[in-house]
């Protein structure tokens, strides 16, 4: 096998991340028919040599515990990339979400909390808490559609164009539509779109969409491709409104 082919295969399982300011949780929620624990971890590396050497690392973990009426979900994600002694990508988040089944059966109440930072978007720290409702609009064994809406409070410490620290507090609505398709026991397709306007200024909004294709290689291993696109009407000065990322992941189920 030639060196070019080896490098192509290596790059295929790494992450190309331009930016992601909004965390999409629905794509990482796993549909299970039984109660108990579910866990999955993905990891990727990047090593390129052009003008300079480029090193990259991305990793994520999700742990889910399901009871008859309760669902607990813990997510973590980390991305890092460096070239020529300069760090270009450095972001991470940790997210916890709780769901409680209600009556009627298709309605659920949820609470979530999150902490994150993102060097590329100049967000030193972002903390948020929120709560709302989600319901199953339609569903079956092969496909299901969920709709959710709620309120979240967000506190952010970020850098302005002069690299001075700015603290921001915002109240936002957070609504989403999530579609999951399971054509067979091996393939799953999950698409989720979020809309998050400020309650006091509706013209200031964020939109994001994540689309994931996952293939089950074995009982323990999965291979997935994720395309994420986000738009922030009022980002930090110097940061583009439109951002996107493409990720190819090799996952381990536990």
The CATH number of 3-253 is which of 3.50.50.100, 2.60.120.10, 3.40.640.10, 2.40.160.40? 2.40.160.40
**Domain residue ranges in the chain:** 3-253
pLDDT value at position 4? 42
Q: Binning pLDDT at 50, 70 and 90, where does residue 106 land?
A: confident
pLDDT tens profile 132-161: 999 988 888 899 999 999 999 999 998 776
- What is the pLDDT of the chain when averaged over all its residues? 82
**Closest by Cα among 251, 254, 252, 248 to 10:** 248
pTM, two decimal places: 0.77
pLDDT in tens, 15-68: 333 333 445 565 556 555 567 898 888 877 766 655 567 788 888 888 999 998
Band of residue 196 on the pLDDT scale cut at 50, 70, 90: very high
Establish how many alpha carbons lie within 13 A of residue 90's alpha carbon, considering only the half-sphere containing its beta carbon: 10
Residue indicated by tokens 């948020």: 128
pLDDT over 60 (residue 237):
yes
3-class secondary structure for 144-187? EEEEEEEEEEEEEEEECCCCCEEEEEEEEEEEEEEEEECCCCCE
Phi, psi of 11 (to 5 degrees): -65, -30
Residue 123 pLDDT greater than 90, yes or no? no
């Amino acid at each position: 096998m030639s060196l070019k082919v080896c490098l192509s295969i290596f790059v295929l399982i790494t992450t190309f991340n331009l930016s992601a300011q909004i965390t999409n949780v629905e794509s990482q929620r796993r549909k299970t028919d039984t109660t108990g624990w579910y866990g999955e971890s993905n990891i990727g590396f990047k090593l390129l040599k052009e003008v300079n050497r480029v090193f990259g690392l991305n990793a994520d973990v999700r742990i889910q515990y399901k009871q008859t009426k309760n669902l607990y979900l813990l997510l973590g994600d980390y991305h890092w990339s460096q070239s020529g002694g300069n760090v270009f990508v450095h972001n991470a988040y940790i997210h916890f979400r709780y769901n409680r089944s209600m009556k009627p059966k298709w309605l659920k109440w949820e609470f979530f909390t999150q902490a994150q930072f993102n060097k590329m978007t100049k967000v030193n720290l972002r903390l948020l808490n929120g709560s709302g409702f989600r319901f199953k609009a339609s569903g079956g064994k092969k496909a299901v559609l969920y709709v959710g809406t709620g309120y979240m409070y967000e506190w952010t410490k970020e850098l302005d164009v002069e690299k001075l620290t700015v603290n921001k507090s915002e109240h936002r609505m957070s609504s989403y539509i999530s579609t999951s398709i399971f054509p067979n026991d091996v393939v799953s397709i999950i698409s989720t779109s979020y809309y998050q306007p400020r309650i006091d200024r509706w013209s200031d909004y964020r939109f994001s969409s994540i689309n994931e294709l996952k293939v089950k290689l074995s009982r323990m291993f999965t291979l997935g491709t994720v395309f994420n696109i986000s738009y922030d009407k009022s980002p930090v000065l110097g940061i583009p409104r439109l951002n996107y990322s493409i990720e190819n992941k090799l996952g381990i189920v536990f």
